[in-house]
Chain A
Amino acid sequence: MASDLTNQILDALSASDAPILSSEAFPSTPSLNVKSALDRLESRQMVQYETLEKEIVTLTAEGQEIAANGSHEAKVFAVVLAAMDGLKISDLPGIVGKENAKVGQGNAFKRGWIKKDQDLLRASADSIVDETQQQLLAVQKTKTLDDKKVVADLKRRKLIGLAKELAFKITKGPKYAREFVKEQTDLTPEMIANGSWKTAHLKPYNFNAKGAPTPSGTLHPLNKVRQEFRNIFFDMGFEEMPTNRFVETGFWNFDALFVPQQHPARDLQDTFYISDPAVADPPREDPPNEPNPPAQLKADNPLDYKKYWDNVREVHEHGKFGSIGYRYPWSADESLRLVLRTHTTSISTYMLHKLAANPRPARFFSIDRVFRNESVDATHLAEFHQVEGVIADFGLTLGGLIGFMEVFFAKMGIHKLRFKPAYNPYTEPSMEIFGYHDGLGKWVEIGNSGMFRPEMLESMGLPKDLRVYGWGLSLERPTMIKYGVSNIRELLGHKVDLHFIETNPAVRLEKD
């Protein structure tokens, strides 16, 4: 049908080079159909057209009925005239219908076409002119009505409506031809087989639209950033630490890290304590079936866990290894309380202690979940991911840590760094790392770093000249800054929008 129309348009244009009007050439074809036919022709430069918009008068369903069969009052007059001896009023609805009878009787009286004679209706004239019908017939033909009063009257009677009509002024295009060649929608195996592709016309492709959506699975945006970080660590020779251990003891999470037992970080306000199971064991050898033994750390010398425990106690309570310690009564019970790890540094500590069995250069990293008993808001969740790196080597310098950070962060596209002295119980010196953010136009804190305290390392049995860098940052914060996410709950947890997950582009930290 539609393709018929394209040919009809081409036919209509063939007579002369003068433009034609669609409203005249195809008055009964809906303008949308005309437009799609014209678009098809125009895209092939066979025609050109411009759109004309005008207001038209249309008939309502009732108006169309009256145009065809006459007004209610005319119908009433006709039956009354036909009844030679008058028509019983009560018979009228039965003959013309309830609706016609009600409206038509009143109007016929008003116009003086009929009169009442007791219970009979009688005609007052021999013939009448049905103006309403004639007006509506005129409207039907011309779609206009000049008399504003009549327009208002008919509109009030809900017989007509006003609408916009699109019409098109059509002229021949540069590639006008009499015939619209049939087009193939796509190249098919049959066309290849029978060779018809040689003569076939393929429907032009719409280069302004997107292709068909491709169904696909996806990885989570935060895990994509995590993978980028892991790749950076792998590039730089790091081994991934066994952080698959959410529950830690006060010993590994705090005491071994030289965090005093009265430190605010150990408050109920900050740390999740475990009620069940109740109490941990003191540090001891991993069971032989430990699912994730650190690969490089097969101990040459068995580690003395009792001695380690005692060293930690002494360092806190009285000082040792050149430190005066915190000088407070250290509680074993506090050390055996179970907590949800507040940082993955508890695992770094575990790994460094293992290193004491065979001290040598090592590089460790991890990216995993940590837990803080925080009140949840736009920038805080009770869980987030910590990125952590550790380098142990002989003769490490502070300038080396700075130099390393510059290379590490350059791989993420952060090229301007500066370092602020800071405090952290287990690193000395401690440096906060600030990166210059071009987008924000300011320095942004991007991580913490430092050299682990000698009290911590020598307690493990590591030699004095083996120094250890540690640094950490959250995975969420740089991701939020990089991708302009303002609420952490839009990035981690069950409230994350699946659509966001599905449409998040691949992560290229060095470029984005």
Chain B
Amino acid sequence: MPTISVDKAALFQELGREYTTEEFDELCFEFGIELDEDTTNSDRPIVDGKQEPPQLKIEIPANRYDLLCFEGIALMLNIFLGRNPLPEYKLTQPARMEQIIVKEDTTKIRPYVAGAILRNIKFDQARYASFIALQDKLHQNLARQRTLVSIGTHDLDTVKGPFTYEALPPKDIKFTPLNQTQEMDGEELMNFYEKHQQLGKYLHIIRDSPVYPVIYDSNRTVCSLPPIINGDRSKISLDTTNVLIEVTALDKTKLDIVSKMVVTMFSQYTLEPFTIEPVEIVSEHNNETRVTPDIAPRTAQAEVSYINQCCGLSLSPAEICTLLTKMAFRAKPSTTSLDIINVEIPPTRADVLHQCDIMEDVAIAYGFNSLPRAFPNISGTVAQPLPINKLSDIVRVETAMAGWSEVLPLILCSHDENFGWLNRKDDGNTAVKLANPKTLEFQVVRTSLLPGLLKTIRENKHHSVPMKIFEVSDVAFKDLSLERKSRNERHFAAAFYGKTSGFEVVHGLLDRVMAMLKTDFLAEGETPKGDSYYIKELDDPTYFPGHAASIHVRIGGKDKVIGSFGILHPTVLEKYELKYPVSSLELNVEAFM
């Protein structure tokens, strides 16, 4: 969730009153944003020789792009408080509409562009800073680090339309980038900004493309090289009065949202507030010729019965409309149906997709904490545990009652811990492997519970011996026959660590658990009455030679190997930095389902 810092005094002035921190926190809570911090009593940084004035740090829901700047927060809170009506955003009708002409090659790299002009805008220090910060927040969030959308803003009086949006080989694009003094071509620019702290991370978006997107004015002045940087020529300043905003994108919906946010938030500072001058996009090759931005409200319908049912209320259509006004909608009961209200969704509210979003806003305006409370009827549902969990609990409880302590290691581990350190080979068909772990600790999903048990012992060497620990949990295996190409398997494992090997102790635990699972020991030559188990000497490099056994069950007349136990091989102990012997046991519990 993005966090926005706003000037406390300025916001309270906009809201027409002072709030205590608690009061403002309460207002935020009801509206659905979160006051993270009020810096009034904190040690604030010195900026330009002056201590920063108190800030309110506010957490914004990730889909409310209209709250990503001071202007939006002030506006929406004022509407929520009933102090301001929703502004009437208007497009002007210029005598000659500015144009951006799109060349077909842009489809190879960044196909969409939109434009808008804020004429006769009045910046001051705070407004200017907010203007830059909003673009930054949009770039970080909705635009996914400029990959999907990027914004360029220009002093319209330094360039001359019509503009062209083109895609050219890097070598052919020459200009002086923002705040630089040297002209460079596209390739040089990439090298120049390679190590740049802010811009370096965006270069990859276009770097390897044979063509780079670029916006020229009619004199072939480069306005911008999206999504990297603007030209120095057209840079805006505090004194700029006419601002050209261009937005380029891979995704048309997000292009539209970003354009709307920037123009609606800052059109309040134009000479005639809330007016925006449109730009014509000429894009014949992909049928995208149109006038931007589209700030017309979207009309949607919401059902009164649906809203009332979900909220547990019985509001009249008119009451619902009044509540919606607080959330920046214009709503009117339908003239044709008693159950319908027509809702105008302003260009600022890109988060509304369905009538459920409108219903939620009715609930917020009413107050979540004021809604009539009920307790949902129990409609004859039957409680029951997952069978494998019930079985696991039997094994867990019996093992704990036998004097063993349950541990809970992690499920992810390193490849070595799962294979090499246990003297096991990876045949490539066993373990699920991670593509993007941040550390070597998390390379595979474990296929055995042993690594976790051995690491737990390693980290508990200060504990008295013997240590007797166990875990009942899932491991996972590759299984290409399944939709998800893998399956979990419930295992039970135990380890004994002490001055003696504990081989018989672990063997005894196996006998005990088998007895509790009503599985009889099958001595050679006997015929079992019910389910039974037997063990056989096992040659396995994980264990000390001659001191390991495989565990076999005979269930429903079928024999199956379900696990093994033994004294761990000293080379295993060495890898796990254990100085005393360990005997371990591991088996698949699912055989007993």
Contacts and interface: CB of A to CB of B under 8 A. Distances in A.
Interface of A: 215-220, 222-223, 230, 233-249, 262, 264, 268, 272-284, 287, 291-292, 295-296, 319, 321-329, 338, 340, 360-363, 369, 371, 373-376, 381-383, 391, 393, 395-404, 406-407, 418-423, 425, 428-431, 451, 453-455, 467, 469, 492-499, 501-502
Nearest to B399: A217
A322 B353 CA distance: 8
B139 to A, nearest CB: 13
B315 interface: no
Q: B144, B253, B364, B481 — which one has the most chain A CB atoms within 10 A of its CB?
A: B253
Contact of B357 (A280, A287, A428): A428
B268 interface: no
A398 B469 contact: no
A73 to B, nearest CB: 56
Interface in B10-68: 29-32, 34, 61-64
Given A277-B432, A428-B356, A496-B456, 4 more contacts: A234-B385, A245-B484, A371-B411, A397-B374
A277 to B, nearest CB: 4
A243 B385 CA distance: 12
A393 B376 contact: yes
A249 B484 contact: yes
The bracket for how many chain B residues form the interface is 35 or more
A280 B485 contact: yes
Nearest to B446: A246
Interface stretch (B156-164, B329-337, B433-441): B433-441
Contacts of A362: 381
A249 B484 CA distance: 6
Nearest to B64: A423
Interface string B443-467: 0010000001001101110010001
A244 B590 CA distance: 12
Given A244-B474, A373-B438, A454 B376 contact: no
Counting from the closest, the 4 A-B pairs by CB-CB distance are: A421-B32, A397-B312, A361-B379, A423-B61
B406 A246 contact: no
Contacts of B571: none
Nearest to A397: B312
B381 A237 contact: yes
Given A245-B484, A399-B373, A276 B433 contact: yes
Given A283-B483, A291-B593, A498-B463, A319 B458 contact: no
A266 to B, nearest CB: 10
Interface stretch (B130-138, B221-229, B486-494): B486-494
Contact of A245 (B29, B378, B456, B488): B488
Contacts of B154: none
B389 interface: yes
Contacts of A498: 405, 407, 456, 460, 463, 467, 469
B406 A277 contact: no
Given A240-B389, A398-B311, A455-B353, A383 B412 contact: yes
A324 B435 contact: no
B229 to A, nearest CB: 23
B383 A236 contact: yes
6 contacts: A220-B406, A237-B381, A338-B485, A398-B363, A407-B375, A423-B64
Nearest to B358: A428
A403 B376 contact: yes
A340 B402 CA distance: 35
Contacts of A278: 485
Contacts of A222: 408
B525 to A, nearest CB: 34
Nearest to A428: B356
Contact of B411 (A279, A383, A454): A383
B455 A371 contact: no
A382 B410 contact: yes
B360 interface: yes
B400 A219 contact: yes
Nearest to A366: B386
Given A406-B373, A494-B407, A246 B353 contact: no
Given A215-B403, A277-B432, A327-B253, A398 B484 contact: no
A383 B374 contact: no
A477 to B, nearest CB: 16
B382 interface: yes
